[in-house]
Amino acid sequence: MPWAMNEPAIEELTREALELLSFDLEDLYAVLGCQLLGAATPTRAAQVMTSLANLATRSELKEWQGMIADTAVACASSQGVENIARDLRRDGSRFIDEMREDFRRSLCTKEILDLTENINASRMQILILLISAVVKMPPQFESISATLAAMFCKSLLCEICQ
């Protein structure tokens, strides 16, 4: 039987979005960028995978050569991880920029802005459903709406609506 991605249940998306509220907004941009890799061009996904593979190879080489305490290799690895995270944040930011007008047109009402304050499971569920309607992604990618909901609760929606 061929592999298929299942549509996540709204309850699961709500739980995930509520858990994401503990992350900084900048980190959520990187999470969004990771999620968008599923819909990215193969070369974009390959760039990220090549960068990760290079980091793994560098780490394995360091261990093989017995240079575990080598600060230069550790700094290079740390810089590599930061470069990947920066690129993923940029991908997430680009998506927000491309969707900004759609979000502004569809979500910038007092009632929806009020949903992002004093967030609870019910409010988060409504917000996810509203975002899903705006983003119009296939059901397999609806988890992106959960990430966006958490980002909007972190002040992003207020910023978009200004």
Domain that holds residue 88: 10-161
The answer as to whether 3 is a domain residue is no
The answer as to whether 46 is a domain residue is yes
pTM exceeds 0.85: no
The answer as to whether 35 is a domain residue is yes
Tell me the pLDDT band of 1, cut-offs 50, 70 and 90. Answer: very low
Angle (CA) 139-140-143 rounded to 5° is 90
Please count the CA atoms within 13 angstroms of the CA of 12 that sit on its side-chain side.
7
Q: Kindly report which listed range (16-20, 50-54, 115-119) carries the lowest average pLDDT score.
A: 50-54
Cα→Cα distances 159→18, 19, 32, 153, Å: 20, 22, 17, 11
The answer as to whether 157 is a domain residue is yes
The torsion of the CA quartet 76, 80, 83, 84, rounded to 10 degrees, works out to -170
The total domain count for the chain is: 1
The answer as to whether 36 is a domain residue is yes
Q: What is the pLDDT of residues 91-117, one digit of tens each?
A: 999 999 999 999 999 999 999 999 999
The answer as to whether 131 is a domain residue is yes
Structure tokens belonging to residue 142: 């609806």
The answer as to whether 2 is a domain residue is no
The answer as to whether 1 is a domain residue is no
Residue 78 CA to residue 117 CA, distance in Å, equals 36
Q: Which residues contact 61 (CB under 8 A, 6 or more apart)?
A: none
The pLDDT value given to residue 152: 97
Residue 124 CA to residue 17 CA, distance in Å, equals 7
Cα→Cα distances 80→4, 34, 38, Å: 32, 16, 21
Average pLDDT value for residue range 131-152:
91
- Which of 63, 74, 157 has its CA nearest to residue 119? 157
Q: What is the pLDDT of residues 71-81, one digit of tens each?
A: 555 555 567 67
